[in-house]
Amino acid sequence: MQFLIKAYDGENMLEKRLAVRGQHLENLAKVKGKIICAGGILDEEKRMKGSVLIMDFESRELLDEYLQSEPYIREHVWEKIETELMNVVIVNGEKVGK
């Protein structure tokens, strides 16, 4: 199952986000085979204000296990998180799904 995760930082969280970013990247490395795409959402000044991840887990429960380990959640960087099922069809211009 593929999931689209949009996570928005709380107000004035840029400094804390940057302080926790190393932990966040280390945690992502543990599930690198599950990541289709990931990156920061930028504001008008090109500063990070959130994240978008497209991930592939066998179940919602496994996604939730990952989210429980996410440093941006544990450290309260992300304030609002939206998760939706997604059907990934094209990656890097190549058709990979239906």
User: Could you tell me the pTM of the whole model?
Assistant: 0.90
Read off the pLDDT of residues 31-63 as tens digits, 9 standing for 90 and up: 999 999 999 999 999 999 999 999 999 999 999
Q: How far is CA 68 from CA 45, 63, 92, in A?
A: 30, 9, 29
CA atoms within 13 A on the CB side of 98: 1
Centroid of chain to Cα 4: 8
| Helix and strand element counts for the chain (H, E) | 3, 6
**Among the CATH numbers 1.10.10.60, 3.40.50.1820, 3.30.70.1060, 3.40.50.720, which is that of 2-88?**
3.30.70.1060
Domain regions of the chain by residue span:
2-88
* Closest alpha carbon to 10 in 75, 83, 76: 76
Output the pLDDT for position 94.
87
Residues 6+ apart with CB under 8 A from 71: 20, 23, 24, 27, 77
Average pLDDT value over all residues in the chain: 95
pLDDT band (50, 70, 90) for residue 15: very high
Cβ–Cβ under 8 Å, residues 37 and 51: no
